[in-house]
Structure 1
Amino acid sequence: MTSGPRTNLPVAPPTGSRTPLPPPSTAARTSPGPSGERSAGGPAPAPATIRGSGQTLQSALTGLFQGTPGRMRLLGILGVIAALLLGAAAANAILASEAAAERAANTTEQVVRMQSIQVDLLRADALATNAFLVGGLETADARAQYDAAMAAVARNIAAGAAAQPADAKALGTLAEKVQDYAALVEQARSNNRLGLPVGARYLTEASSSLRASAIPVVAQLVKTNEGRAQKEFDRSNSSIQLLAGVAALIILALIAVWLARRTHRYLNPSLTGGVALLVVGLFVAATTIGNIGTTTAQVASGEYRDAVDLAQVRTAANDARANESLTLIQRGSGARYQEAWEANDSTVRETLDQIDDTSGLASGWDAYATAHEEIRARDDGGQWEQAVELATTPEAGGSTAAFNAFDQQVTEQRDRASTAAIDQLGALGGGSTVWAWLIAIVSLIASWLIVRGIGQRIKEYR
């Protein structure tokens, strides 16, 4: 039997065997899962793009500063920094000198206040002790002068505490000591009006407490403020800060030399103009600071020094006047007060030797010292009443007229010197701030010119 052609039919697999599944396609391997995430084996083009962008930016920046044009750009940045540094240093130096001069003026004014407190306290004591010698009710003029001196003390204590908070605590203590002194003086006056001998004891105690408690406090305040004033005088010359500006100019000069050698172009108008502006700004700053420093130095050694010395003269003189009266009050047992008078006399004479005395202060003190010697001769000779008369009479020949003339002369000179010192220091800040701002603006203009000049050389080099 002839069979027909054979047809290839699919053969069913045997029962129980598995049909192999086709391998997963590429799409299946890269398709996102149920959560939308790509399988671990899939490509990640996005991070590769970010890395490529970062490398491109880094390459661009590296190329920007490569080669001679790149070095020119770096030097341009350095030149701008140098110009801004010069402007900042110069402006800051001017403002620092101006501020120091202003603080010196304020501190000088505080020194004057503290010295005035010291002088007025001793002046009040001199008036009280001298008026006590008269006995009974003191004259209206003597009481008015005493009240004026104590009122001046109160005003200066309040003004000093407001002007310098650092002195407020010490001035508060001083105010308490002054009140204690004034209370003892009032007790002495009350007993003196009644003719009671205990009044002398109260007055002596008042004078002793003044010198033991109040005067040391105010003397320390004077010393502290004198130290502050001297520090501000020294700070007023801040030329050392301009060394940063000099260093900046040296950097700019080196940049200009390198640029000229590299490009074989020795004239760069923009760069040269910027450097020239900075040189002018530095010169103006140095001149301004030099003027401030010179003026403050002259004031420190001139009017300020005279004001301090004259205040010391007046302090010692009024202390001597009070000791003269206390010597007589003690009636033969006041040797220690005479020794104190002699120490005051030495202080006055030594200090006057340091002052350019054109008004005859030394001769005025000699006139008072001569009257004092006559008082001591009468008292030591047993003529106490005559000695008291010479010490209290306002007529010529007594110590009162000679002392008042000297004290007034010293006060006038001291006031003139202190006012001149404060005015000169206060006037130093006039145009300094304007110069500081102008120099800051000049440094900005110079920075722009430096960038422009180097930019021109970069274009030409290409």
Structure 2
Amino acid sequence: MSAPTTNIPVSVPAGQRSPAPSGGRGGPGTGPATIAGSLSGIPDARSVVTRLLHGTPGRMRVLGLVAVVAALVVGAVSVSALLGAQAAVDRAATNTAQVVRAQTMHVELLRADALATNAFLVGGLESPQSRAQYEAAMSAVARGISEAAAAQPADAEALGALSAQVQQYAALVEQARTNNRQLLPVGAQYLRQASAGLRAEAIPTVEAVVTANEKRSRDEFSHSSSVVLLVLGALALAVLVYVAVWLARRTHRYLNRSLTGAVALLLVGLVAAAVTVGNISRDAQAVDRGSYTQVKALADVRTAAYDARAQEGLGLVARGQSGDSEKAFTADVREVTDAINDVTPRQTRQSLGEQWSAYTTKHGEIRAADDSGDWEQAVGLATSTGSGSATATFTTFDTTASNLREDASREVAASLDGIGGRAPWIALALGAAALAAAWLVLRGFAQRLQEYR
């Protein structure tokens, strides 16, 4: 019969050790198992890492990781370069459209002023057609301000100020008309004040909007090349080639099909990205130097021409004190001539120049009559709408310039819209190629590591 057992603790005299339990796994003299003791057989994490990175296999693992990262970087920068170039062209298109809107407002403001000035010369006998043309010009300005504010938030503050300035101009013109119909001399003062305010406030505001958007357009045209990203991609590819060469020398294998395939795939992708980005940049620069330059030149032609036409009328309104207006007219003539010289092709430039010369000849006849003291004849020559009159020759010139500008504007929009249309699809293909290349890199290093086991 076995001796009974007990769970009652037994005191141990001081100075003596508790006897070890017999029959335990540790045998006589072994202590109880502890948590620390149970984990003593698990390798230290640092020793595992050290073993993984030790020797040639360890360096292979590190460089394999570097190669995978390099492959992904090549793919990422190729995709970013393509999408960045396409986005730059889209932003350039937005800014060039804003330039066209602002230049149109500039033209219409001066057109309205020329019409108001010319109508003032006939006193209270303004024709319904002239009034309708003035209202159409002012409506075009108001519509342009609304569209421009919606299209480019950065111009909102300037366009808000322009709206107030245009309203002030319109109010002064109405006061001039009212007094002119009553044959009150103060009407001329209101007209001069309106024209002076237009050129001192509204026109500089429009020009500031044009300048700001032209700068944005130039910046975006220059950003369409994405050169920095492509250089970064080339450096990452060079790192991958270096790793492939190191692996070949270390393993005495001069051809690792997986790594070679990855390098070839990424090289083709990077070249495709560079070629596509180069084409986008080239086409964007061609638009900038071609049809976009034509649009700006023709806008300058029309704004200076309408300012000249308004100055012609203001000179007659001044009645014998046309010196300042004639100086401004002469400056406008030079500006129109310079702008026409930027118009292409040569045949168009020559035709436009001849039409402008025909108008300036008629202006000379007006000035000759006024300077000789025949103000009534000068006014008749300035306000006549018959064939061969100053108004008719100017209208012919302006219609030609307007049609040319509209054609050039449509060409700019169509050209920019067609640039880089395949870029997103090419970027998608390059992204997939980069992932495939990263997998090939892993496969190539795995093959060599297997040889060391």
Structures share fold, TM-score greater than 0.5 = yes
Distance 1:240 1:280 in 2: 18
Aligned partner of 2:55 in structure 1 is: 67
Aligned partner of 1:180 in structure 2 is: 168
Distance 1:452 1:460 in 2: 13
Q: Deviations over 1:192-243 (max 9, x none)?
A: 2222222212111111111111111111111111111111111111122111
The 5 Å alignment of 1:62-461 reads 62-356=50-344, 357-359=346-348, 360-461=351-452
In the alignment of these two chains, the number of paired residues is 431
CA contact (8 A) 2:276 2:420 kept: no
CA contact (8 A) 2:178 2:187 kept: yes
CA contact (8 A) 2:176 2:190 kept: yes
Identify which range, 419-428 or 339-348, moves more after superposition: 419-428
Distance 1:27 1:427 in 2: 93
**One-letter code aligned to 2:373:** G
CA contact (8 A) 1:368 1:402 kept: yes
**One-letter code aligned to 1:105:** A
Distance 2:109 2:40 in 1: 84
The alpha carbon displacement at 1:28 in A equals 9.0
Q: Deviations over 1:290-345 (max 9, x none)?
A: 01100111011111111111111111000000000000111101210000000000
Gap change, CA 1:253 and 1:137, over 3 Å in 2 = same
Distance 2:340 2:39 in 1: 86
Distance 1:387 1:49 in 2: 115
Gap change, CA 1:159 and 1:454, over 3 Å in 2 = same
**One-letter code aligned to 2:165:** K
Identify which range, 58-67 or 156-165, moves more after superposition: 58-67
CA contact (8 A) 2:176 2:188 kept: yes
The 5 Å alignment of 1:52-63 reads 53=42, 55=44, 57-63=45-51
Distance 1:69 1:58 in 2: 17
Identify which range, 430-439 or 43-52, moves more after superposition: 43-52
**One-letter code aligned to 2:42:** S
Q: Deviations over 1:395-431 (max 9, x none)?
A: 1232101111111111111111122112211222422
**One-letter code aligned to 1:46:** I
CA contact (8 A) 2:173 2:191 kept: yes
Distance 1:132 1:28 in 2: 127
Gap change, CA 1:27 and 1:124, over 3 Å in 2 = farther
Does the residue aligned with 1:413 lie in a helix, a strand or coil?
Answer: helix
CA contact (8 A) 1:263 1:461 kept: no
- After the TM superposition, list the runs of 4 or more consecutive aligned residues in structure 1 that deviate by more than 6 angstroms: none
CA contact (8 A) 1:102 1:429 kept: no
Identify which range, 248-257 or 104-113, moves more after superposition: 248-257
**One-letter code aligned to 2:443:** R
Distance 1:401 1:190 in 2: 27
Distance 1:88 1:132 in 2: 65
CA contact (8 A) 2:63 2:243 kept: yes
CA contact (8 A) 1:239 1:290 kept: no
What residue ranges of structure 1 are gaps of 5+ in the alignment? Answer: 1-20, 31-41
The alpha carbon displacement at 1:166 in A equals 1.2
Gap change, CA 1:191 and 1:54, over 3 Å in 2 = farther
TM-score w.r.t. the length of structure 1 is: 0.89
What residue ranges of structure 2 are gaps of 5+ in the alignment? Answer: 1-11, 22-30
CA contact (8 A) 1:269 1:453 kept: yes
Distance 1:200 1:44 in 2: 112
* Larger Rg computed on CA atoms: 1
**One-letter code aligned to 2:227:** S
The alpha carbon displacement at 1:45 in A equals 3.4
Gap change, CA 1:172 and 1:51, over 3 Å in 2 = farther
State the Cα RMSD in Å: 1.9
Percent identity (aligned): 51
Q: Deviations over 1:344-381 (max 9, x none)?
A: 00111112112224321111111111111111111111
Distance 1:384 1:29 in 2: 135
